[in-house]
Amino acid sequence: MSDDYDDLQLDDQPDDQLDEVNVDDDLDDELRYDAAEDDGALRDVDDEADADRTAALQDVHFGTSWTVDGTSEAGNPVEWSTTTNAYHDEKTGEQVEPK
Amino acid sequence: MSTSTVRRLDTGTADGPTSRTAGLMSGLRSMPLFRQVVPMEALVGWPIPARHNPGWDGRTAVYLKFPLYGYHRPARRGEPTRLLPPFAMLTLNWANGAPVEFVDFRYSRPWPITATPPVIGEFPHAAVRELSGGDYLAARVRLAELYDGLFESLGDGSGFDGEAELADLLGRLLEPCLAPYYRMIAPRFAERFLGAEQE
């Protein structure tokens, strides 16, 4: 199989990775989150500018939503979600087409 | 706000994706498969390329593997978001965007899986913490464009001259806590674009 792949990447998950033999009951320490190694993890957010910037980054990364014109079939406000790229009923969360 | 002014995630414009990669990333959530098996509170990681040469029909086939991972919403706006390990991976065919594989890591267990996923890190991480939202979005848009070049080069065998820029941007935008998982999923890709693992 290796001849079929070049060196740009090609890491097709080998079969043995799907094998239970590969499962280690002991968690790898490298995969644990150590707050002590991350001075920002538990910091207090007392700087408004920092908080605004963090929120702006999160809006881009996780998505956000805005209330838009129109209502749902149920008459509720409608929001546009950048996470789902769709309109949702603000009260029920259901995907809708605003009227 | 009028919908015409909405700046969509990963696109940077209101007119639609500026790259095929961004379009595929943002389109994932519209897929019936995605909606059926992926919680809404899931994030889509930067793709990992895979090439079959020859593919099933004798021609070169390129695929995008998207690790999916969870997070805990911050209690207050402006607080860091805590990230959880990847829990699944969805693979798309670059040629047509069709899903070709969904792997639930609770089933395949490429690494130890715990009943309660541990917090592995946070967003924003240090490399992007000082960026404005606009600059961060622009960086994401650019990285997606570079991915386009990588996938195209994998498909047609042409050279890819954006490797250094892609590596630089991916190294900054990929949350460091996810890097170990990328290294396990795709060690050669990770070594090439994320660099050697730090001791």
Interface confidence (ipTM) of the complex: 0.77
* Distance (Å) from the alpha carbon of B21 to chain A's nearest alpha carbon: 16
DSSP string over B115-150: SSPPP-EEES-TTTTTS-HHHHHHHHHHHHHHHHHH
State yes or no: pLDDT of B132 exceeds 50: yes
At residue B35, the pLDDT reads 85
Q: Distance between CA atoms of B144 and B148, rounded to whole angstroms?
A: 6
- DSSP state, residue B20: H
Mutate to test the interface with B, among A1, A5, A9 (most CBs of B within 10 A): A9
Selection from A75, A74, A70 nearest residue A87 by Cα = A70
| Percent over 70 (pLDDT), chain B | 91
CB contact under 8 Å between B132 and A56, yes or no, is yes
At A92, the amino acid letter reads: T
Mutate to test the interface with A, among B51, B125, B154 (most CBs of A within 10 A): B51
CB of A40 within 8 Å of a chain B CB? The answer is yes
* Distance (Å) from the alpha carbon of B99 to chain A's nearest alpha carbon: 16
Q: Distance between CA atoms of B87 and A47, rounded to whole angstroms?
A: 34
Q: Distance between CA atoms of B99 and B91, rounded to whole angstroms?
A: 6
Mutate to test the interface with B, among A32, A37, A45, A54 (most CBs of B within 10 A): A54
Least confident of A61-75, B9-23, B111-125: B9-23
**Predicted model pTM:** 0.75
Instruction: List the 31-60 stretch of B: residues with Cβ below 8 A of A.
Output: 40, 43, 48-54
CB of A99 within 8 Å of a chain B CB? The answer is no
Q: Distance between CA atoms of B45 and B88, rounded to whole angstroms?
A: 10
CB contact under 8 Å between A32 and B53, yes or no, is no
At residue B16, the pLDDT reads 65
pLDDT in tens, B51-105: 998 888 899 999 999 999 999 888 888 889 999 999 999 999 999 999 999 999 9
At B118, the amino acid letter reads: P
pLDDT in tens, A26-50: 444 445 545 455 544 444 545 778 8
At residue A50, the pLDDT reads 83
Task: Please indicate whether residue A70 or residue B175 has the higher confidence score (pLDDT).
Answer: B175
Alpha helix stretches (DSSP H) within chain B: 20-27, 32-37, 105-108, 133-156, 163-173, 179-185, 187-194
* Distance (Å) from the alpha carbon of A24 to chain B's nearest alpha carbon: 6
CB contact under 8 Å between B112 and A23, yes or no, is yes
Nearest-Cα residue of chain B relative to residue A30: B180
At residue B93, the pLDDT reads 96
